[in-house]
Chain A
Amino acid sequence: MLRKFARKIIYLLGCQKYNLPLWECPSFLFFLMGVINILSCVFFYFLGRRYIDDPRIVALGILVIATIWFVISFAITRGLEELAQVNKVKEEFIDIVSHQLRTPLTNLKWATEFLLGRQDLTEESKEYYSIIKENSQRLENLLNDLLIVARLRENGVFKIQEKFSLNELIDEVIRSHKAFADASNIQIETENLEEPVLLATNRTMLKTALENLINNAITYNKPQGKVKISLKREPKRIVIEVADTGIGISKQDQKYLFQKFYRGSNAAQINTRGTGLGLYIVKEVIKKLGGRVWFKTKLNKGSTFYISLPIKT
């Protein structure tokens, strides 16, 4: 009943065009302020009458205050409405970008992948195809990172949940990083991945977080280094550990590590391509999935990143 009433008000006030809940809809807030304004006018009129004999003075005082309040609330709601409008344009823009920019990139990536899968390639063509593939992948990763950052404020994406095996997801991410690890002379090991763990959460987002961690563990490792991925099951949560034998994170960098666009000083020297978005995305994504991220590190010895996620039973 109440929900039906709320829906009707949302419709009447045009809130649906911003795709916002009632409590964030500018026109509803303005309407609510108006109602409170009228009620408080009446209340203060009667209250004022008890202390001041002349009703005209009371009425005039209340009228002046109510007018000021009305003007202020009008300005605030106008501001909110403009923000909501900008937000809507942003969402539409993201939709267009995600479709129109990604499609040609996917075409490029898949076509190159197909060619690379052929047996009759010369070493030279293989090398050139790999360059095309690697660079289209780089563009795609950058685009994905920017899209995720733009979308972090929307809760909608995170509402999509599916049941899946965490073990399979980890396998998938390891497989997609195998070539990169081999090329960097890094060995990827796993531990405690035998026992199946079923999760019900947003798979795509979790995959993004894991990819970022594993990618970092390879990128900021040392030659002949190792990356170890393991699972630890606790009564109410599962902890994923990604440990590397890399360069570690200095004391000064540690507190800023999860900030947007921040890059560790030693990391920026090793890899000039990073955007500083990876760990920020990991932290925000995992937070949205109801989990937590933390790390332990020793400079020049390596770092271990932990992701804990609740297990819903």
Chain B
Amino acid sequence: MAKKILFIEDESALQKSLGDLLREKGFEVISAVDGKTGLRLAKESLPDLILLDLILPRMHGLELLKKLKEDKNTKNIPVIILTNLENISDIEKAIELGATTYLVKANYSLEEIAEKVKKALEHEG
């Protein structure tokens, strides 16, 4: 069965390019363009992995992450932070809250991100 990825990102262009690539690679991708919808979809669909942007409308990515880690159903889902904000305190906080890793979007190509996603999923079994 295809692994399910929840992609929470408010930039529709990124939703399209990375989302489409991941679909082509055989993943099932669910999209959310704001924090609140992202949280709801995470709880409803229990994905295998969450890709999370930090600057999101309606709920900041860190708050969302905190809520995910507090919920016993979602706390074990690996979360990869995808951001362009190299704000040290945000990154530290995300790791402290339990994010698997953080990736600065500008530093990676699409294929590299897809590779990281694949690895994170393999790691989780």
A residues lining the B interface (CB < 8 Å):
95, 98-99, 102-103, 105-107, 109-111, 113-114, 117, 140, 143-144, 147, 151, 154, 156-157, 159-160, 162, 172, 176, 204, 207-208
The answer to whether B13 and A110 have CB atoms under 8 Å apart is yes
The answer to whether B87 and A114 have CB atoms under 8 Å apart is no
In the assembled complex, the Cα of A111 lies from the Cα of B20 at a distance in Å of 10
Q: Which of B68-113 contact A (CB under 8 A)?
A: 84-89, 91-92, 95, 101, 104-107, 109-112
- Residues of B contacting A157 with CB < 8 Å? 86, 88
The answer to whether B86 and A110 have CB atoms under 8 Å apart is no
The answer to whether B107 and A204 have CB atoms under 8 Å apart is yes
The answer to whether B85 and A110 have CB atoms under 8 Å apart is no
The answer to whether A147 and B86 have CB atoms under 8 Å apart is yes
* Interface residue? B41 (CB, 8 A): no
The answer to whether B107 and A114 have CB atoms under 8 Å apart is no
A11 to chain B, nearest CB (A): 17
- Within 8 Å by CB of A176, from B16, B89, B105, B112, lies B112
B residues lining the A interface (CB < 8 Å):
11, 13-14, 16-18, 20-21, 55, 84-89, 91-92, 95, 101, 104-107, 109-112
The answer to whether B84 and A107 have CB atoms under 8 Å apart is no
A-B contacts counted at CB < 8 A amount to: 71
Can you name the residue of chain B whose Cβ is closest to the Cβ of A111? B17
The answer to whether B18 and A172 have CB atoms under 8 Å apart is no
The answer to whether B101 and A111 have CB atoms under 8 Å apart is no
The answer to whether A106 and B106 have CB atoms under 8 Å apart is yes
The answer to whether A110 and B18 have CB atoms under 8 Å apart is yes
In the assembled complex, the Cα of A144 lies from the Cα of B86 at a distance in Å of 11
In the assembled complex, the Cα of A107 lies from the Cα of B53 at a distance in Å of 14
The answer to whether B92 and A160 have CB atoms under 8 Å apart is yes
12 pairs of residues in contact across A and B, judged by CB atoms under 8 Å: A102-B106, A103-B11, A110-B18, A110-B110, A111-B13, A111-B17, A154-B88, A156-B89, A159-B88, A159-B92, A172-B112, A207-B107
B54 to chain A, nearest CB (A): 9
Can you name the residue of chain A whose Cβ is closest to the Cβ of B10? A103
- Residues of A contacting B21 with CB < 8 Å? 114, 117
In the assembled complex, the Cα of A160 lies from the Cα of B84 at a distance in Å of 15
